[in-house]
Amino acid sequence: MDSPFQMLVSSINYSPFLGRLYVGKIEAGKVSTNQEVAIANSLGVVNRGRVSKIYQFQGAQMVETPLAQTGEIVALAGIEEVKVGDTFCDPHEPSALSGVAIDPPTISMNFVPNDSPFAGTEGKFVTSRHLRERLYKETLSDIALQVEPLGDGMGFKVSGRGELHLSILIEKMRREDYEFQVTRPQVIFKTINQKLYEPYEELTIDVEEAYSGAVIENLGKRKGQLLEMSQENGMTKLLYKIPTRGLLGFRSEFMNETRGMGIMNYVFLEFEEYAGEIKNRKNGTLIANENCTTVAYALFNLQERGKLFYGPGIKVYEGQIIGEHARENDLTVNPAKGKKLTNVRAAGSDENVLLTPPVVMSLEKYISYINDDELLEVTPDSIRLRKKYLTETQRKKLKNEGNKKAV
């Protein structure tokens, strides 16, 4: 006698023609097209439906089949409201299999429509409605992603499993001609028994012995706790317990410290008590004071103030961040200030302007660099860092109000 049908949903794909496709291995029995099935979990039967299509996997292709049996990995279509960890089973003998545990989201970012002076000039999909449709579509296939509207109705809070998870989504959207802005990543905290708890990760690192000291020093500043350390054949293996906040921006620093030869992996561990403050960055920024095009002469004079993110001939707007200040405070500068010309030529007055190459940052580096009072503008052609309040008057007013509240 054949066993009743059972298949645990392991992942979910999405097709614009068929909707959700539920992928899993058939643990018992068989399933055919148009067969009625029950959806069960630890609480019992939660839904019923009918299988409209069955697909087998042949290499990278999905091939439709009318029947699938025990041991085959298949994708089923035609049913709604099914989650990873649910079980497709015989409606006459419903029995749920042990579900797959999904790690909770640990980091959130706000996705909002672009409102900079350059808004709408580079992207095709720019409105809040476009953002909503794209983000909710992503949740159909990405089970670890959560999207909820913000209170003002002009953006969305997107929660995921770390900055890499969210940076992949941002990169996918900008390649699809979406234009939007994101805020600094915020770790998702919990309050338990009136105490603040935050997510911790188990971090595993494999690196050459020569670079292990720098990595250990860096992780110490990020509140990492070294659990195990072993050395073999010139390689060092480190096992750390570290707050999720401590991993923000660590990947790019790790690649620099290890000359690209290190390997790092991390997985959610648990929620534990708040580890204390971890400073995002020490230095302030250089902020453009007007809408203009950068000039080599002005950038040459600004080089001694800090590191520049742009070279000459680049259009920037008031409130856009064009570099990192050498000191802790922000500095408003004029990147379009030209040299005053006279009709008198003097020896030594026309020296060549030598510019240091600008600092080029990746999307992931920008995400880890951004501060609470800043936004990251993402378009198909550009990634720009800007202040939330573009004018210096607005920023000073906000700072004064904050000082009054502190008093």
Distance CA 126, CA 120 (A): 6
Q: Which has the minimum average pLDDT: 15-29, 278-292, 393-407?
A: 393-407
The contacts found for 146-151 with CB under 8 angstroms, 24 or more apart, are: 146/105, 150/110, 150/112
**Confidence category of residue 339, pLDDT binned at 50, 70, 90:** confident
Phi/psi of residue 211, each to 5°?
-105, -5
Q: Which residues of the chain form CATH 2.40.50.250? A: 285-340+353-406
Distance CA 159, CA 169 (A): 11
CATH number of 285-340+353-406: 2.40.50.250
Q: Which residues of the chain form CATH 2.40.30.10? A: 6-89
Distance CA 127, CA 331 (A): 32
Q: Among residues of the chain, what percentage have pLDDT more than 70?
A: 94
pLDDT at 406: 52
CB atoms within 10 A of CB 165: 17
Distance CA 124, CA 256 (A): 35
> Hey, what are 356's tokens?
């240091």
pLDDT at 264: 92
CATH number of 201-245+254-272: 3.30.70.240
Distance CA 7, CA 5 (A): 7
| Residue showing tokens 């500095």 | 331
Phi/psi of residue 60, each to 5°?
-90, 0
Query: Is the per-residue pLDDT at 347 higher than 60?
Result: no
| Residue showing tokens 């860096």 | 218
8 Å CB contact between 398 and 325: no
Query: Is the per-residue pLDDT at 340 higher than 80?
Result: no
Distance CA 150, CA 136 (A): 14
For 219, residues 6+ apart whose C-beta sits below 8 A from its C-beta are: 203, 226, 238, 240, 242, 246, 250
**3-state SS of 347-406?**
CCCCCCCCCCCCCCCCHHHHHHHCCCCEEEEECCCCEEEEECCCCHHHHHHHHHHHHHHH
8 Å CB contact between 288 and 317: yes
Please report, as a single letter, which amino acid is at residue 1: M
Helix (H, G, I), strand (E, B) or coil at 42: coil
pLDDT at 143: 79
Mean pLDDT across 139-160: 86
pLDDT at 346: 54
Query: Is the per-residue pLDDT at 341 higher than 70?
Result: no
Query: Is the per-residue pLDDT at 112 higher than 90?
Result: yes
Q: Which has the minimum average pLDDT: 83-87, 235-239, 242-246, 292-296?
A: 83-87
Distance CA 170, CA 67 (A): 39
**Confidence category of residue 34, pLDDT binned at 50, 70, 90:** very high
Distance CA 190, CA 40 (A): 30
Buried b (16+ CB within 10 A) or exposed e, 182-205: bbbbebbeeeeeeeeebbbbebbb
Q: Which residues of the chain form CATH 3.30.70.870? A: 107-187
Query: Is the per-residue pLDDT at 356 higher than 70?
Result: yes
Which CATH number fits the domain 107-187, given the four candidates 3.40.50.970, 3.30.360.10, 3.30.70.870, 3.60.20.10?
Answer: 3.30.70.870
Distance CA 222, CA 210 (A): 21
CATH number of 6-89: 2.40.30.10
Query: Is the per-residue pLDDT at 125 higher than 60?
Result: yes
Dihedral of the CA atoms 266, 271, 275, 280 (nearest 10)?
A: 50
In whole numbers, what is the pLDDT of the chain averaged over residues?
Answer: 87
Digit-coded pLDDT (tens) for 38-54: 988 877 777 888 999 99
Specify which residues 36 forms β-bridges with.
50
For 310, residues 6+ apart whose C-beta sits below 8 A from its C-beta are: 294, 299, 316, 322, 323, 335, 358
